[in-house]
Amino acid sequence: MSQSDEQSGLGPRRLAWMAVTETLKRRVPLDDVMEELARAENLSSRDEALARAIAIVTFRRLGTLGHALRERLNKPPKDERLMHLLATGAAQILYLDVPDHAVVDSAVQLAQNDPKLHHAGGFINAVLRRVAREREAILAENDPWLDTPTWLEERWIAQYGEASAQTIAEAHRSLASVDLTVKSNPEAWAERLGGVLLPTGSIRLRERTAIRELPGFDEGEWWVQDAAAALPARLLQAKPGERIADLCAAPGGKTAQIAAAGAEVLAVDRSAKRLVRLEENLARLNLKAETRAIDAEKLDAEPFDAILLDAPCSATGTIRRHPDVAWTKSEEDIRKLAGLQSRLLDKAASLLKPGGRLVYCTCSLEAEEGERQAEAFLARHPEFTRQPITPDEIGGFDECITPQGDLRTLPSQMALAEHDRSGLDGFFVARFVHTPS
């Protein structure tokens, strides 16, 4: 990045624009694209954070932005990159605390510096200035379904009913909370960190702040983990000395929970790179686990006392913090991933001791990756029975327990009157016990 780009603020805006374009084109996670592109841009940490904020809010409000732009264009441009540049500009004007003139000027400059868009400067200037003038009218159109792809809207209405599905869509338009899991004494840490102690045992920070600067980070007293993501390992009920496998373990929050309980953990993940990060996290936390970079389906090991399977899934339950998921996944992805989940469940079943426990979870809102998967597993494996989850295991948070005794959290749950960042990730958790005849 040149010095003039840095002074004009073009660097982070170009990165955001490129990241949105590449994420939609390649249908891969925004985080991966941002990491890849940021290396080439050589931005400061502050500028990289701005780029990420722009890209995230663009995806969070992509439907609203597209609707607003189309209504103000006589004929939408065929060039998707131009539409994405307009969308990232409109996102800043409507949802970020950025001066309008800075947004418009930088968008025009980005177009003029691009060989294929150098002619579009005047067009971009006119469109974004109109968005700025009509800001209040655009924000007044408050239909939450605008920011949910139709195929997901139809699925959620069918599964949860129209009213509940709409609250999910509304939750996805809010900024996700920052939750922490602590090794011990959550009441004291909640007070020290100025957070809210949730009934499930997680701590929710009241303010977004530099995580590494908080008390206890360097000492390894806690780690960042969504309140819902912390529940599966708690429900595994790991005991000191038990031999437990955490399949598909990275980035390692659940591994840390199991290790902190005193169990002997094998953390398995197919990505060696992700396991390096897991090992780094465990080192900071002064926790130990054996790691193995291998596809869990190919794992050969002595039987375990318990297994946690956090299976690869569509991740539609994480749209609050990863809004790109809504626009990069498809029903075909869900079908393929459901097949993988079935195979992983069968593999996990083969690796358990008689009487062993298996917790299966996904951060998905889709029944094929949750409720239906659990029922199909029990039908295939009569040697397993469901161990129902009880309210006292999750701090009395009984609204998320299904009639079958599984756990189903929704982004619209965990509403806190005193906190502007309510909600939690959408998760499904089922617990099974091997009951040999």
Q: Would you please indicate which residues are annotated as catalytic (active-site) residues?
A: 363
What is the separation, in whole angstroms, between the first and last Cα of the chain? Answer: 67
To the nearest 10°, report the CA torsion of 253, 169, 198, 211: 50
For 320, half-sphere exposure in the C-beta direction (CA atoms, 13 angstrom radius) is 28
Q: Cα separation of 45 and 24, whole Å? A: 24
Q: CA separation (Å) from 89 to 95, 125, 128?
A: 10, 10, 7
What is the spatial distance between Cα 158 and Cα 181, in angstroms, rounded to a whole number? 34
Strand (E) or helix (H) holding 148: none
Task: Find out whether the peptide bond into 303 is cis, omega within 30 degrees of 0.
Answer: no
Q: How far apart are CA 80 and CA 82, in angstroms?
A: 5
CA distance 41 to 302: 47
